[in-house]
Amino acid sequence: MDPDAIASSWSESLAAGRSRLHVASVEGDHEQIVGYAGVGPERDPAAPAGTGELYALYVHPDHWGVGAGRALTDAAVADLRSARCTAVWLWVLEANTRARRFYTRYGFTETGGRTTSSLGNLPEIRLGLSL
């Protein structure tokens, strides 16, 4: 993953109004961003009307298990609900069992959708949540 390319892609998407970004931070000597969640309209043209997408959820490993992921997911779901979405879809690497457990505990279920990641051509599965 190229951090500059990722930052550029998010900047373009945010500036164009295609996505919204939520951040988690901690305070110490200075405020530090420890995670983010990106949301917007579902990109799959075959998705049912009213479906939003959780494009990305990332929390730095030093901050796993302290509630940042849950808070970011809560913010992402609330954002999509306020945008009148009735469902949320996301893609997760099939091998990422930690993330899959997190999403399952949150209430997401497998939709049957499968693809390969643009990050290394790895298998991904689609999860969904009704709002």
Edge-to-edge order in the sheet of strand 51-59: 20-26, 32-41, 51-59, 87-93, 123-130, 109-116
Give the amino acid at 20: R
Structural domain span for residue 99: 3-130
Tens digits of pLDDT across the chain (131 residues): 577 877 788 788 777 778 899 999 988 788 889 999 999 999 999 999 999 999 999 999 999 999 999 999 999 999 999 999 999 999 999 999 999 999 999 999 999 999 998 878 899 999 999 99
Q: What is the pLDDT of residues 106-127, one digit of tens each?
A: 999 999 999 998 878 899 999 9
Model confidence, pTM:
0.89
Q: Give the E-state strand segments of the chain in sequence order.
A: 20-26, 32-41, 51-59, 87-93, 109-116, 123-130
CATH code of the domain containing 38: 3.40.630.30
Total domain count for the chain? 1
